[in-house]
Amino acid sequence: MEQVINKLKDPVLVSKFQEYFGVKKLENVDKNSKKFIVQNKFWYYLFVLGTALGDEVFYATFIPSWFWNVDGAVGRRVILVWAIVMYIGQGLKDIIKWPRPGPPVIQLQDKWSLEYGMPSTHAMVSISIPFSVLLYTMDRYEYPVMVGLFIAIFWSSVVCLSRLYLGMHSILDIIVGILLALALMIPLVPLVDQLDHSLLTDQKSPIILLTVSILMIVYYPSGDKWTPTRGDTTMMVGVCVGAQIGAWMNYQLGQMSHPELTPPYTIMWPSYSKLGQAVFRTALGFVTIALTKIITKWLTYSTLCTVLRVNADNLKKSANTLENKHKTFVDLSYKYLACLAIGFNTLYTLPIAFRYFGIERPTFYTEI
């Protein structure tokens, strides 16, 4: 078993994978020059797109768009599964502390180089999002389940292979990430399905969600060096909590009602006018989200830096280290509050605006 594990950790295997798909290392170049050449642009762009499916930009576009244009009941369940799975995966990285693959692997992107590699949370999210969408929609809508299964498998495959192509993970990182996500989803999918009703109806839900999420961030496992993992995890938790509280507000204020029909539902493709409304909703929503992030960051830094008696501009420019306690506290507070506000606006404030402008999705408030 130990020999198998060591073999799967071997960076030479990743290097060979890169060579097979057209990434060639350049020899005898100075440190400021490009160290590799991409010989096949198709694989490069496919895998860059694949790795983006597990990145912040994807979350910031996919999650709101799903709520505004597809199905809120499925969306609430999916983001709860996603947040729990990712929290566990991110935390394990800073507990296990295995570095990412070294030479002869070529790291095509430096964005994730500061993080540890085991397990691959890209692999975990490539399982948790598409497969939870599949599981929560297969009995809710009438569509070819095998087509959905194919899309989920293709999605997961591209994301996982992209991490090898970019030199970010060993094969063992990917395998463990996949198996861990699958193991977690076995109890989580039915549990979250039941938990969703309680989160909507229980009057104490916001207090419970806020308390648990803050404790999760405060007691997040700390490694022996600063990495962006804790901050990224804070944003995921914040979005999830904000969305759940937004949905809770809709229900408690009587804006939500049970649908007249029972599932499974027929998928109705939008007319041109409905498609135009969807584009308008999405554009207005993204502008609001961007403004929410900007305003929350300014307010958080201004307020907390005043309380801590430190200069906000200097704090923003200061180095990210475990010893820089003020920077860590303010930055985590900003990320949590900004993403909580984004999640809340996505589920509560923006749907009210959509109704005011006459561009709301008709079934939004019936998805319980």
CA pair distance 174, 156, nearest whole angstrom: 11
Neighbours of 53 (CB within 10 A): 20
Instruction: Tell me the C-alpha distance between 49 and 163, whole Å.
Output: 11
Q: Where are the beta strands (DSSP E) in 5-112?
A: 23-25, 36-38
For residue 312, give the H/E element and its range. helix 312-317
326 flagged as catalytic: no
Question: What pairs with residue 142 in β-bridges?
Answer: 266
Single out the residue of 59, 77, 50, 81 nearest to residue 181, CA to CA. 81
Six-digit token pair at 116? 């540890």
Q: How many other β-carbons are positioned within 10 Å of the β-carbon of residue 215? A: 10
Cβ–Cβ under 8 Å, residues 23 and 106: yes
Q: Considering 122, 197, 258, 326, which one is annotated as catalytic? A: 122
| Helices H / strands E in the chain, number of each | 14, 4
DSSP 8-state assignment for residue 265:
E
DSSP three-state, residue 54: coil
Residues with catalytic function: 122, 169
